[in-house]
A = this chain, B = another copy of it.
Amino acid sequence: MESESTFIAWLRDRLPPHSALRLGPGDDAAVLAWATADDVVVTVDMLMDGVDFELADVDPRRAGRKALAVNLSDLAAMAAQPVAALVALALPRHGGLALAQSLYEGLLPLAERFGVALAGGDTNSWDGPLVISITAIGRPRNGRVWKRSGARPGDVLLVTGQLGGSILGKHLDFTPRVEEALALAERYEIHAAMDISDGLALDLSRLTDESRCGAVVDVTSIPIAPAAVELAAQRRDGVTPLDHALADGEDFELLLAAEPSVAERILAEQVLSGRFGVPITAIGQFVAEPRLWQRDAAGEVSRLAPRGYEHRLD
């Protein structure tokens, strides 16, 4: 029988020092040195066994890593530099300590890679399945954040990486686009951004709703992931690789809006410099007319339904 204090002691031994962490785990709250009058960017995501991963099939280190990565993806979507995270766990009673340690073994390397201080948490056990709730805290890279609401008609729609088929593995092992977001925020004026967590079409519809405009997607330009092709081949259910790229959840790539001259520079300079870890592709334009539209290979424009993963509440 071990206690939460034993676990906190184990954890304290493994936490590298961090300049932002004035007071870390072990008190009633953590204290982050902020040092400037910058805004504080905060986000939370809760992942549950059986919904966001299946502990029966997945190494818990990958689950722990994912729980932090989805939060870093949200910070990236705001162009915020990650600073700290808090980890709350509901652990199954049996084997909870070992499970907690595995979760942390998965998330600690990711935290270190992106400079995230593990500032604290809450470790519980119960008769239910594993629940991980992580709060991430960041700082705007250039004094201001990217919002969903800034896209303007005429802006080019850009996307990082490739889309679709994430369920085959990427949803656990993706790299949050923090470095890309910060590099873009440093050099270019981005009008709006968000990360794709519920599907390109659905998330794009949220971005256009917040921006009070619409968008035309050039479906022939969408970078389709090999996993989307593989998933379509595996399932043989008539869902095409393009459908997967348009509607699969958990891509965790970034959607960006920038005016054409800026988009051109981004696209040209990534080739010249190899600046970003992933390719950035132009896949459409924002338009004044609300709603989503798709342009096919023949240039025909038709409505695009905002398909994707809707979180349902009964």
Contact = CB atoms under 8 A, between A and B. Distances in A.
A145 B1 contact: no
Interface in A19-37: 22-23, 26-37
A119 interface: yes
Interface stretch (A53-61, A128-136, A157-165, A292-300): A128-136
Contact of A147 (B4, B23, B120, B194): B23
Nearest to A124: B46
Contacts of A38: 34
Nearest to A93: B314
A3 B313 CA distance: 5
Interface in A87-140: 87-91, 93-97, 100, 119-129, 131, 133, 135-138, 140
A194 B4 CA distance: 17
Interface stretch (A71-79, A212-220, A227-235): A71-79
Contacts of A89: 46
A88 to B, nearest CB: 4
A128 B42 CA distance: 27
Contacts of A97: 313-314
Given A28-B77, A313-B100, A40 B34 contact: yes
A69 interface: no
A84 B42 contact: yes
Given A51-B126, A195-B28, A46 B90 contact: yes
Given A48-B90, A86-B135, A135-B86, A42 B28 contact: no
Contacts of A45: 88, 122
A313 B89 CA distance: 11
Nearest to A45: B122
Contacts of A86: 42-44, 135
Given A3-B310, A48-B126, A314-B93, A120 B27 contact: no
A312 interface: yes
Contact of A44 (B77, B90, B121): B121
Given A31-B41, A95-B314, 18 more contacts: A3-B310, A6-B313, A23-B147, A28-B73, A28-B75, A28-B78, A42-B119, A42-B120, A42-B137, A43-B86, A46-B89, A46-B131, A48-B124, A50-B126, A125-B314, A128-B128, A128-B129, A131-B131
4 A-B pairs closest in CB distance: A29-B43, A133-B133, A4-B311, A28-B77
11 contacts: A1-B312, A23-B147, A28-B74, A29-B78, A30-B43, A32-B40, A44-B135, A48-B124, A48-B128, A88-B135, A125-B314
